[in-house]
Amino acid sequence: MNETRRALLRALADGPTTGPALADRLGISRAAVWKQVEALRDEGFGVESGDDGYRVTDVPAYGAAAVEFGLDAPYEVEYHDSVGSTNDRGRELAADGASDVVVVADEQTGSRGRLRREWSAPSGGVWASLVLRPEIPAAHAPLYTLAAAVAVVRAARESGVDASIKWPNDVLVSGANEGQSTEVDELLVSEANEGGARPATDRGGRKLAGVLTEMEGEADRVSWLVVGIGVNLNVDAAELPPGATSVRDEVGDVDRRVFVQRLLETFAAVTEEPETILSAWREHAATLGQYVRVETQNGVVEGEAVDVRVPGALVVRTDDGERVVHAGDCEHLRPATE
């Protein structure tokens, strides 16, 4: 989308505006305004002209202009009907120097989770990667993963889905089978990898969303971050690996454009004040107060998850004292009070 189109969208989002006022604001002729309005109509916007000027009456269901229209966050949107991975595209843009861009796709054909695990991303979901250049040390990058999880939970809750965060990057919807055993979890993971049948039980929560943050930079300064967010929105959970759920399965379809806008607006607001990220995360965390088992590169840590610490490390109270875990796969075994 070119800058003039973007400026026109911003002007129209504020309410009806006359042709001369638009020409003035955009620094183009009235004929050029008319051409731009026609182009918006071609993209699926309903634009009527009345006494008070041009007014938007209809917004397309999804797409770059649709998401940017009325968006209260400082990001440009690049939209694809289909792409390999929005994170890969985000990395390309980052390498070209881009910043404050969000790559959004209807479907992904080669998307990935952590450790290059496969991520299913059929049409109808929210698959988005933010390209950012924050002035932070590399060690603080995980805070952005936490902020993304907070943004997903808030958008999901606004849609009526009772979501919460499992450290570090999963958004879950808790189920009747809260606190499943290790074996069930391992079974699910291996079945997911083999594309096996859907089991009747879940692992103390069905996975609604995941976040994959990638970065480049020196120790003292991040060069760029790509924060990839995947939310199973208007998709059938049956199309996803076992143990997954979707907003459609939980509460029915929701407006994807509005969902993405809320997600981006919350992410922008939370990262604007990085000191608020941890408290926002704690507010929505399912992990704190749970007896957990975390598989780290240095072995297994088991105990009560008692807190999260900058830059997103989990504090686990074990039999041998407190351990601070920076990365790993976490399972909720049971509430710690039991």
Site residues (CB under 6 A) for ligand BT5? 85-87, 108, 111-115, 117-121, 127, 129, 169-170, 192, 207, 210-212, 228-230, 232, 240-241, 244
CB of 1 to ligand BT5, least distance (A): 21
Which of residues 54 and 224 has its CB atom nearest to ligand BT5 in the complex?
Answer: 224
Rounded CA gap, 25 and 17, in Å? 10
Element of type H or E holding 249:
helix 247-251
CB of 150 to ligand BT5, least distance (A): 15
Q: Using alpha carbons, list the distances in angstroms from residue 291 to 1, 165, 235, 304, 337.
A: 49, 15, 32, 4, 9
Write down the least CB distance from residue 85 to ligand BT5, Å: 3
Task: Closer to ligand BT5 by CB, 136 or 235: give it.
Answer: 235
24 φ, ψ (degrees, to nearest 5):
-65, -50
Q: Which is nearer to ligand BT5, 26 or 171 (by Cβ)?
A: 171
Pick between residue 37 and residue 149 the one whose CB is nearest to ligand BT5. 149
Q: How far is the CB of 229 from ligand BT5 (least distance, A)?
A: 6
Query: Which residue, 173 or 333, is less far from ligand BT5 as judged by CB?
Result: 173
Of 9 and 163, the one with the shorter C-beta distance to ligand BT5 is 163
Smallest separation, CB 117 to ligand BT5 (Å): 4
Cβ partners under 8 Å of residue 243, min gap 6:
188, 192, 199, 202, 203, 206, 207
Burial of 261 (0-12, 13-18, 19+ CB in 10 A): buried
Using the minimum distance from each CB to ligand BT5, give the nearer residue, 17 or 86. Answer: 86
Look at strands 299-309 and 290-296 and give their pairing: antiparallel
Give least dist CB 226 to ligand BT5, A.
8
The CA–CA distances, whole Å, from 207 to 104, 219, 288, 315 equal 21, 32, 17, 23
User: Nearest residue to ligand BT5, using CB?
Assistant: 210
Q: Are 95 and 65 in contact (CB under 8 A)?
A: no
Cβ 211 to ligand BT5 shortest distance, Å: 6
Tokens at residue 74, please? 């400082």
Sign of CA dihedral 266, 268, 272, 274: positive
Q: How far is the CB of 170 from ligand BT5 (least distance, A)?
A: 6
Q: Which DSSP symbol is given to 113? A: -
The residue among 209, 182, 210, 198 whose CA lies nearest residue 243 is 198
Closer CB to ligand BT5, 115 or 200, in the complex? 115
Q: Which residues, in sequence order, are CB contacts of 114 under 8 Å at separation 6+?
A: 169, 212
